[in-house]
Amino acid sequence: MSRYILKCLYCGREYDDDYYRLDCDSDHKPSLLRTIYKSNSFTIKENSPGMFKYKDFLPVNREINVTGEPIVYKSKKLAEFIGLKNLYIIFNGYWPEMNAKMYTASFKELEAPSVLGRLPENSDQTIVVASAGNTGRAFANICSENSIPLILVVPEHSVKEIWGIKPFSSSVKLIVAGGDSDYTDAINLSNRIVELDGFFPEGGAKNVARRDGMATTLLSAAVAMNRIPDHYFQAIGSGTGAVAAWEASLRLIETGGFIHDGVMKLHLSQNYPFTPMVDAWNRGERDIPPMDESDAKEKIDIIKAKVLSNRKPPYSIVGGVYDVLKASGGYTYSVTNAEAEEAMKIFEIKEGIDICYAAGVATASLFKAVKSGKVKRDDYIALNITGGGENRIKSEREVYYMQPYATFNSKDIYSDRINDMIKSILAYV
């Protein structure tokens, strides 16, 4: 018997788990499904590898060979610098002295194992993942390590982000949306691939395993703090990680085993000038207005945190970013490149490890929250450093870059003949 069911957040309909289920069958507005675990028990499985120690709240059928898990510690120097008493760092990345073993240097390494652990072991289908960089790097490395077939689709500017510390196996193929294509174009290309027999979509925010995998950041923080944080800080591109953290906080409250002072407030940030969710939230709007494509791409070209560049995030969907911000009484922040870079420098000086631009955006938002009084000195605060140690690992290890298997230009992606082009290229995958 399955340990969990899937429940529609709009109509409440429940389903037994099926890996390929991403939506409710009922005819209503778009809504996320949520994993409902039949037992509220939550114990750490110390003998399980990496993040699978949290498998009580993971919708998995098997464990994947991984080492990565969130490392949580109480900050001293950074906390003192900004005047906080209970600042906890959730570090996702490579930091040998802290036993941090995410060799892709990104918390997206929490998504892939959970998604793949939910996949039937003898599936004859090939998973297709679209990514702006970090998610793709995680899936490429973990699928390669475990010989799981993968088609990874990224925009051309993100090819340099697909690297690993081991050569990639032939089980993974990199497909590129070329020219001025962005993440949304890569998603559209991946959607065309999954129309073919033998391929299926990873599912993004709609895949409960992806959300629950990222939720281990909050689980690990609660274990380290022996309570649920008062405030949770994270930079967002799709916002899936923020939704995941919120869902995890609700599960932990239901266990009755963790101290909490009401609900956990979400503090979510984006990299200015590409801030569609921040702008919509500050206007009090549930829907993000349609974006002019050229304007959006111009803004994305400016930002340093390219992984935060999702043009179609799960903001308006029932159970999505808007709903969790509202339920948590949360806040959003717009952070410039200069503010993120300054925060990155301060973090490295105070804590002793480099962090990625997205983590710099989150850290800068914490500085803003302290300055504006949105958090108090004695509050329990979790800062999710979604990527760190990339400079460190590249200085210590040989790095291998995945080479594109095929490239499609932006005109091809939206042409009538794209399916035939894809078929001819992927015929022997």
Query: Which CATH architecture best describes the domain 126-197+399-426?
Result: 3-Layer(aba) Sandwich (3.40)
- Interatomic CA distance for residues 55 and 94, integer angstroms: 22
- Asked if the domains 71-106+209-393 and 126-197+399-426 are classified in one and the same CATH topology, the answer is yes
**What are 384-412's pLDDT values in tens digits?**
999 999 999 999 999 999 999 999 998 88
Query: Which CATH architecture best describes the domain 71-106+209-393?
Result: 3-Layer(aba) Sandwich (3.40)
**What are 17-42's pLDDT values in tens digits?**
888 899 999 999 999 999 999 998 89
Q: What end-to-end distance do the CA atoms of the chain give, in Å?
A: 35
Q: pLDDT at position 67, please?
A: 93
Can you read off the two tokens belonging to residue 314?
């799960």
Residue 417, exposed/middle/buried by CB under 10 A (0-12, 13-18, 19+)?
Answer: exposed
- Interatomic CA distance for residues 96 and 362, integer angstroms: 23
Label residue 1 by pLDDT band (50, 70, 90): low
Q: pTM for the full model? A: 0.94
Domain boundaries, the chain: 71-106+209-393, 126-197+399-426
- Interatomic CA distance for residues 165 and 212, integer angstroms: 26
**The residue to which tokens 């050569």 are assigned:** 167
- Which residue type sits at 333? Y
Q: pLDDT at position 216, please?
A: 98
- Name the residue with higher pLDDT: 329 or 419: 329
- Interatomic CA distance for residues 72 and 81, integer angstroms: 19
Concatenating the DSSP letter of every residue in 252-306 gives HHHHT-SB-SSSPEEEEEEETT--HHHHHHHTT-SSPPPPPHHHHHHHHHH-S-G
